[in-house]
């Protein structure tokens, strides 16, 4: 199998990041010609596409549609490289497996089986029953990494959790008694806003909400010109843990500008009503709050959460083993100045180091959780 075509399909799939959830990112490349292990092989790409936006056409449809009319007759002798098993069911669009069968493609090569029970091998079964050769497992690790959120959601029944914070060179995350301190630079701030646009939800705890009064939106990540321009910035669903519902309702989190979920453990005789704000009660005798939170978010079909809380909230996810990725900015700034007595220490990093790079004057390190947690 020619991995360079699958690599191209993976590159195309990544263009859908932040636009297709709760669907997976999928890319598709259609080639005609001999495979690379044959003498004088010169395969040619005749079509390609990706899933651009939730509710729109899937990658296979866009790839088929991109084939020029004069090349349409080549489909019956072509190989389709697609990053995930073609769907076999009706959703917002028709089954992609049926489309490939209708066009009588010769072969379909995939990275991964689809973990969604609505598909789960049925797409491959349809293709094989129609006489189409199917190959799987090509660049499977890269395919799973691309759609880590999608696989985590279906296999672990919870969202993909990203812990993010910025710390000073001397290891602090906030000033005296949690007082906000500017730590990372402007480039890091802009990058974080891009991350927010790529995830389904963003979370903070009570103290961060009260002391920082964050908006948790994507105002620093401008609308991009081009075919994917939407006319608005994509803001994540905001999540705040407020056990006793003690937060001031004039905080930015409650301004109704984007969907917001408040998790609490205070029994109420009535459910508060605020525009774009919902409340979720977690009984204290029903187990750990984070377990309830994971279950509820799974039911809401939220596949990823960027946790920007303070040390207490971040540590609670670490101690519960409920995290998948850790993104840490370290600034050259020292807190110092006689303000260390009550300053808040940053959590200790853990997991497997994936990358380290400079973002402006800051250093960004990314860690991933070890399998089995």
> Which positions are annotated as active-site residues?
60
- For residues 263 and 265, give the distance between their C-alpha atoms in angstroms, rounded to a whole number: 7
Q: Nearest 5 degrees, angle CA 210-CA 182-CA 222? A: 90
* Contact predicate 29/9, CB 8 Å: yes
The closest of 237, 218, 204 to 309, measured between CA atoms, is 204
Which candidate, 88, 90, 80, 26, places its Cα nearest to that of 52?
26
Residue 284 has what DSSP assignment?
Answer: G
Alpha carbons 241 and 262: distance in angstroms, whole number:
6
E-strand spans in 206-351?
237-241, 260-264, 277-281, 304-307, 325-330, 343-345
Please, what is the Cα angle at 56 between 51 and 57, to 5 degrees?
A: 60
CA quadruple 316, 319, 323, 326: dihedral sign = positive
Helix, coil or strand: residue 121? coil
The encoded tokens of residue 327 equal 């993104």
The answer to whether 332 touches 184, Cβ cutoff 8 Å, is no
Cis preceding linkage at 373, omega within 30:
no
- Pair of tokens at residue 112: 């991964």
The rounded Cα 373 to chain-centroid distance in angstroms is: 19
Give me Rg for the CA atoms of the chain.
Answer: 23
Closest among 292, 197, 198 to 243, alpha carbons compared: 292
Answer yes or no: are the C-beta atoms of 126 and 97 closer than 8 Å: yes
Of residues 150, 157, 88, the one with CA closest to residue 119: 88
The span from the first CA to the last CA of the chain, in angstroms, equals: 34
């Amino acid at each position: 199998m020619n991995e360079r075509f699958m690599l191209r399909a993976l590159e195309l799939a990544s263009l859908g990041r932040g636009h297709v959830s709760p669907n997976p990112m999928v890319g598709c490349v259609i080639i005609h010609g001999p495979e690379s292990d044959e003498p004088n092989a010169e395969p040619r790409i005749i079509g390609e596409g990706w899933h651009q936006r939730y509710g729109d056409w899937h990658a296979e449809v866009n790839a088929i549609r991109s084939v020029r009319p004069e090349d349409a007759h080549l489909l019956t002798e072509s190989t389709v490289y697609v990053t995930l098993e073609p769907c076999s069911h009706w959703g917002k669009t028709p089954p992609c497996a049926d489309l490939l069968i209708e066009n009588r493609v010769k072969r379909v090569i995939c990275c991964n089986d689809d973990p969604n029970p609505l598909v789960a091998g049925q797409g491959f079964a349809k293709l094989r029953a129609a006489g189409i050769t199917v190959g799987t497992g090509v660049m499977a690790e890269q395919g799973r990494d691309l759609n880590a959120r999608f696989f985590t959601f279906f296999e672990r029944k919870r969202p993909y959790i990203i812990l993010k914070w910025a710390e000073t060179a001397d290891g602090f995350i906030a000033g005296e008694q949690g007082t906000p301190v500017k730590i990372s630079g402007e480039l890091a701030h802009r990058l974080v806003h891009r991350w927010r646009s790529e995830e389904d939800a963003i979370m903070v705890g009570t103290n961060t909400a009260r002391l920082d009064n964050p908006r948790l939106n994507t105002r620093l990540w401008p609308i991009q010109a081009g075919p994917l321009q939407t006319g608005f910035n994509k803001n994540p669903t905001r999540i705040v843990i407020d056990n006793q519902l003690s937060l001031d309702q004039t905080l930015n989190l409650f301004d109704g500008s984007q969907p917001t979920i408040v998790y609490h453990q205070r029994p109420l005789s009535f459910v508060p009503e605020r525009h774009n704000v919902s409340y979720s009660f977690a009984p204290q005798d029903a187990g750990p709050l984070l377990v309830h939170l994971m279950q509820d978010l799974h039911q809401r079909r939220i596949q990823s959460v960027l946790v920007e809380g303070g040390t207490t909230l971040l540590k609670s996810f670490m101690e519960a083993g409920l995290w998948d990725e850790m993104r840490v900015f370290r600034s050259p700034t020292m807190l110092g100045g006689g303000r260390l007595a009550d300053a808040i220490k940053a959590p200790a990093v853990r997991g497997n180091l994936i990358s380290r790079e400079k973002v402006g004057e800051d250093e960004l390190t990314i860690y991933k959780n070890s399998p089995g947690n």
